[in-house]
Structure 1
Amino acid sequence: MRHVLFATSAMAWSAPLLLALAPPVSAQTVEGRVDRLEKEMRAVQRKVFPAGTPIEAQITRPTTPTIAPGSPSSSPISDLTARVGALESQLSSITGQVEENSFKLKQLEEAFNRYKADTDARLAPAEAPVAVRPAVSAPVAADPTPVAAKPAAPKPAAAAPASEERKTAVAAIERPDTGDAAQDAYTYGFRLWDAKFYPEAQGQLKATVDKYGTASVASRAANLLGRAYLDDGKPALASVAFYENYQKRPRGDRAADSLAYLGEALIQLKKPADACKVYAELEQVYGESLSSSLRGMMAQGRTRAKCS
């Protein structure tokens, strides 16, 4: 009898000890799910921000439900499991949106590449006529130099020699000298554009973008270069400048402006369908941060292009 009581007591005292030593399965499961969530979130951030610092997500903690008196409270592990499940659902939704945005951007790039190829074909110099070789057995002279390949972008026509009066007026435009070479180069290009010396402004702004392409002022200079082409009646060159500025500097000061003016350039080139795609991209990427002037410009452009 004593042995039975002793064995019963030993089992009673050892049961809590065994429970305490048992691994917290729920905690380990939740920890594994959290690790997987962190890896997936980092993958999404690398997809959305391939060349910049990720923006901290603004995630609000779900409101704790009110527990009626007398009802059993949920354990911390259960609460954590529910929150992890909600995070998994949000991450799945974000991943779907990223994939959709990537697909739409790819469509926009393909449409622009088609338009660019059409423009190249129209603006490429005519090929020189091939000379007819005489039908003789004597050695024939070597073939003439082949025609150069089509340029990647339409080349601006050579500007006519400026008159002395124009040279004097351009020379009167003051060159700034503040010690900030990049800003001074852009400011001088702006002054030339503001004075409607568009060819001179184009040369100055293009040189600024080429030399200071990684500076903060590059976005403004590239956008103004496109506007100088557009104001000079060169929408094909303007569209290339606007698109490259948006593609290379999507977070630049004038990225949204370049996308809006790209739509205008495409309308002038009689590409309303492509212009509508550009306006859709502008709304989706910069919708909440668009200024009233750009929003009005987009609305007018959609009306002119007859976007649905």
Structure 2
Amino acid sequence: MTIRFTTIPFSRTVLGGLAMAAVAATSLPAAAQSVDESRIRKIEAEVRALQRSVFPGGTGKFFEPEISGNSASPTTTVPNSTTAVTDILVRLDALEAQLQGLTSQTEQNTNSLNLLSTRVAALETPAAPSPFGPSPTTSAPTVTTPTTSTPAANLGAMTGGASSTAQPVQAAPAGPTAARLAAVQEIAKPQTDDPGDDEYTYGFRLWDAGFYPEAQQQLTMFVEKYPTHSRATFGRNLLGRAYLDNGKPKEAAPWFLRNYQSDKQAARAPDSLLYLAEAMIAQKDTSRACIALAEFGDTYPALASGRLADQYQSNLRKVTCN
């Protein structure tokens, strides 16, 4: 028995309907997916805009919102938030600038106070060894050469109370003799590239030749004109010796004291302290002489048993100290 199958043809209408149904079934999920994707992108944009509004310039730059003016989410609060944060930053910058200015001013004031304290300490230090009397000021003792007349006001004290009218000023020696002037002129003044050293050396030569008044005048000029010269400590010490060797211990003492107080570590500071003791011994001021000798022994123990040992022991034998 033979079975035959007969193919039933579908009409175009039925086929068209099936095709449309298939297309519709396929396009509905795609449309839904497109709508969901759009909504997700919108939400992501709004989140990014909100983050940039709350944290403007978080990466060093300011990002404008990515939502347009006709978006569903309101964006009117962004400019206000940005303005407030910007104002805070400006105020912080101003505060930092003020703090920097105050810090700088405080440092300057501190430095000025330190400098003032140093200057005050330097001014007060020379006045410490007051038992020896005042040291000479910048206006050094006036050195009178044989050609200078003695002031009338001091003449009475120097002559034991004689009246200035009875002893006129003209009674003083008229001046150096021609032989003395010629001898002084024979002492050559050096001429080198260091004028300060030349002035000191010339004063030393005058003192070494025994011309003490001339040496006093020359050395006074040197120490006042070159107070910071490397030879200044030598000049002040030698000036005191020019007075001491000339029989004027009272005029010599202030120069020895000044040289010692100026710089206790200077080359001739210990020598001046010993000569200060000698000047006090010459004035029969045992108390101050003992103070000078005691300070020398405490300040310069190595020199007291070394280079200046003989002079130190000699002075000690001249006085009786407690």
1:120-162 residue CA offsets vs partner (Å, 9 max, x unmatched) = xxx994699xxxxxxxxxxxxxxxxxxxxxxxxxxxxx88511
2:217 to 203, 209, 212: 203
**CA distance, structure 1, for counterparts of residue 152 and residue 313 of structure 2:** 34
Match in the other structure for 2:200: 186
Q: In the TM superposition, what are the counterparts of 1:159-178 in structure 2 within 5 Å?
A: 161-178=175-192
Residue identity matched to 1:161: G
**CA distance, structure 1, for counterparts of residue 305 and residue 231 of structure 2:** 20
Q: In the TM superposition, what are the counterparts of 1:192-231 in structure 2 within 5 Å?
A: 192-231=206-245
The alignment partner of 1:292 has SS state of coil
Percent identity reads: 42
1:111 to 108, 131, 138: 131
Indicate if the aligned counterparts of 2:133 and 2:254 stay in contact, CA closer than 8 A: no
Closer, same or farther in 2 for the Cα pair 1:179/1:274, shift >3 Å?
A: same
Residue identity matched to 1:253: A
The alignment partner of 1:178 has SS state of coil
**CA distance, structure 1, for counterparts of residue 135 and residue 217 of structure 2:** 25
Closer, same or farther in 2 for the Cα pair 1:176/1:159, shift >3 Å?
A: farther
**CA distance, structure 2, for counterparts of residue 294 and residue 115 of structure 1:** 23
Does residue 250 of the first structure (1) align with residue 264 of the second (2)?
yes
Q: How many aligned residue pairs are there? A: 173
The alignment partner of 2:300 has SS state of helix
**CA distance, structure 2, for counterparts of residue 173 and residue 235 of structure 1:** 26
- Following superposition, the deviation at residue 303 of structure 1 comes to 1.5
> What is the TM-score of this pair, normalised by structure 1?
0.51
- Following superposition, the deviation at residue 115 of structure 1 comes to 11
- Following superposition, the deviation at residue 292 of structure 1 comes to 3.2
Indicate if the aligned counterparts of 1:222 and 1:242 stay in contact, CA closer than 8 A: yes
Considering only CA atoms, is the larger Rg found in Structure 1 or Structure 2? 2
Match in the other structure for 2:165: none
Q: Which runs of 4+ in 1 moved over 6 A?
A: none
**CA distance, structure 1, for counterparts of residue 133 and residue 152 of structure 2:** 16
- Following superposition, the deviation at residue 114 of structure 1 comes to 8.3
Name stretches of at least 5 consecutive residues in structure 2 with no aligned partner.
1-113, 137-150, 157-171
Indicate if the aligned counterparts of 1:262 and 1:275 stay in contact, CA closer than 8 A: yes
> What is the TM-score of this pair, normalised by structure 2?
0.49
1:86-136 residue CA offsets vs partner (Å, 9 max, x unmatched) = xxxxxxxxxxxxxxxx9xx94xx23223899xxxxxx994699xxxxxxxx
Match in the other structure for 1:72: none
**CA distance, structure 2, for counterparts of residue 127 and residue 173 of structure 1:** 32
Residue identity matched to 1:298: Y
